[in-house]
Each structure stands twice: as structure tokens, then as C-alpha cells.
Amino acid sequence: MQIRGMFITFEGPDGAGKTTQIGLLSQYLSRRGMAVVTTREPGGTPLGDDIRRILLDVKYKGMDPRAETLLYLAARAQHAATVIRPALAEGRIILSDRFADSTLAYQGAARALAAAEVAAANEFATAGLIPDLTILLDGDPAELQTRRQRRGAGDRIEAEAIAFHRRVRTGFLQLAGKEPDRFRIINALDSVETINSQIVCYIDEFLHRREKQ
């Protein structure tokens, strides 16, 4: 079975389990005969991977928020143009670990940059590309921080103070509140199996609606 291209993003705070859930969903869709592309931001391209290393390196802890934003946008522009749009044109399903909503939450809400300016920059970088569906894995920042600490030393973003991560969470929830048709919110602190089951239900429901259009 193959349907027209579809763009699904996974958003949420660091440590929410996005990578794990993308892997499980990719397996599920592949078993149904669908062509799936898994990718991530920042990254997904050679340029994006190089930018990712800069953005997450703890030695750049004092990076200016605007410089940080522009680096994310450069990686996203390359990603959208060379990975996401071509895959959509081929009828594939793209599962992306983060996209434009992350910049609105992290740099807009948490870094206190003007939301309208960040949104306009996102639109420019993506040429107006918007996900068909966004899975938001939400959880208490303190509990997610404990989960991250069990994994070992964090990157530059993960090492931010808990107040920063609370602002990120607030930013994501505000975005979801503004676009309820696109977002599906799931408790990131549930078991891996429970989260996967909820995601599969949302995806099946979404695919069913798409098939009827």
C-alpha cells in the first residue's frame, strides 16, 4: 500500500523519547508496505550534521540567540530543500525528529526572541513547508531532566537550566493550542509501549482520513 507523500514531525523537550518512537513508527509503516524516510533536525544532510555539531557543542555555551537561530534555520533550509521536499514528491512518508516548531519553542519561547520574527524566518527557510501531522511528546521538565541525566553528560541545549526547559514546554503547548488539528499531544512519561500504541492509533486515524479525501 502506498499513499501520497506525507510529512509527520515529532516534537517535544529533550529526553522525551522522540527517536525511539520514530523508529517504532517507521517499522510499523514499513510493515504496511509504505515507503518511509526517517530524518532529524538539526541534521539530515551533510551540511546539517556539521551545523548540528556546532549547535550542540558545550564550548559554545554563550552563543547569541540570534546566531543560534540562524544556524538552525540554515540547517533547516538545506534539509527541507534536499531531503523533505524530494521525498514528498516521490510519495514517501517523512518522519522527522524536530522541525520548525522546535525553533518557535526553543528560540522563540525559551530564548525570548520575537515570535513573529522567528515564524517569518521559519517560513523563509522552509519555503512555507508545514507538517501534515505533529506528534508532541510532552512531560514534566524536571522528570525529563532526570531521565537525561541518567544517559550521561548532556549537550549544550540539554545542559540549560530547568527554567529554560520549562519555557520550552510552555512554548510547545502554546503552539499545540493554536493548531489543534495538526498536533497530537502524548504523555512522554508513559511506557514506550503505551506511547507507541497511541501514536499508531493517531496515524491510522490520519491515514484513514487521507484515503477518503
| Rounded Cα distance, 28 and 32, in Å | 7
Instruction: Tell me: is residue 14 an annotated ligand-binding position.
Output: yes
pLDDT interval class at 27 (50, 70, 90): very high
Percent of the chain with pLDDT over 90: 90
The set of cell numbers assigned to 15 is 529526553
Domain ranges of the chain: 6-212
The CATH homologous superfamily to which domain 6-212 belongs is: P-loop containing nucleotide triphosphate hydrolases (3.40.50.300)
pLDDT, tens only, 29-79? 999 999 999 999 999 999 999 999 999 999 999 999 999 999 999 999 999
Give this prediction's pTM.
0.95
- Check the annotation: does 13 bind a ligand: yes
Span 152-171, pLDDT tens digits: 768 999 999 999 999 999 99
Give the angle subtended at the CA of 57 by the CAs of 83 and 24, to the nearest 5°. Answer: 45
Q: How confident is the model at residue 1 (pLDDT cuts 50, 70, 90)?
A: very low
| CA-closest candidate to residue 40, choices 48, 32, 29 | 48
Taking CA 128 as the corner, what is the angle to CA 126 and CA 130, rounded to the nearest 5 degrees?
90
Label residue 199 by pLDDT band (50, 70, 90): very high
The dihedrals phi and psi of 40, each to the nearest 5 degrees, come to -155, 165
pLDDT in tens, 128-146: 999 999 999 999 999 999 9
Asked whether residue 61 is marked as a ligand-binding residue, the answer is: no
- Is residue 15 part of an annotated ligand binding site? yes
